[in-house]
């Protein structure tokens, strides 16, 4: 059986969030992020995308879902705190949730507000 990942101290977590994942914060033993969307269908698509990434990583966040908003909470339950696994999954979620086609891409991108970081 693999070893449990080491828990990172809160001061290290806070400093890394500021540096590596602006928009995420440490609160009540979780790293958290709120995503806003342009409505219910987009919120559900984001939930599904995060579910896919999380299942592929075999690391599962807590999600709070409502119309136009999604809160993601991560911690490594087996370790009892924030570990490198949480940072790795948060980075994947952030990259995919806020991804847009590059300027000049063959894909034009949605004209809707879609998912944003407010």
Average pLDDT of the chain to the nearest whole number: 94
Q: Which helix (H) or strand (E) holds 91?
A: helix 84-97
CATH number of 26-100: 3.30.1360.20
- Which stretches does DSSP call E strand in 17-80? 25-27, 30-37, 62-66, 69-74
CA atoms within 13 A on the CB side of 91: 11
Threshold 0.75, pTM exceeds: yes
The pLDDT tens digits for 29-85 are: 999 999 999 999 999 999 999 999 999 999 999 999 999 999 999 999 999 999 999
Cα torsion 24, 110, 92, 77: sign: positive
* Angle subtended by helix axes 10-20 and 84-97, to nearest 10: 20
- pLDDT of 1 > 60? The answer is no
Query: Residue ranges per domain, the chain?
Result: 26-100
Contact 116, 34 (CB under 8 A): no
**Structure token digits, residue 31:** 């790293």
∠ CA 99-59-40 to the nearest 5 degrees?
45
């Amino acid at each position: 059986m693999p070893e449990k990942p080491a828990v990172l101290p809160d001061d290290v977590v806070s400093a890394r969030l500021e540096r590596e994942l602006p928009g995420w914060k440490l609160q009540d033993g979780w790293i958290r992020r709120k995503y806003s969307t342009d409505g219910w269908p987009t919120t559900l698509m984001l939930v599904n995308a995060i579910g896919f990434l999380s299942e592929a990583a075999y690391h599962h966040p807590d999600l709070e879902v409502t119309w136009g908003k999604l809160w993601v909470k991560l911690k490594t339950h087996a370790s009892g705190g924030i570990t490198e696994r949480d940072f790795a999954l948060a980075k994947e979620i952030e990259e995919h949730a806020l991804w847009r086609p590059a300027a000049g891409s063959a894909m034009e991108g949605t004209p809707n507000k879609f998912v944003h970081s407010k």
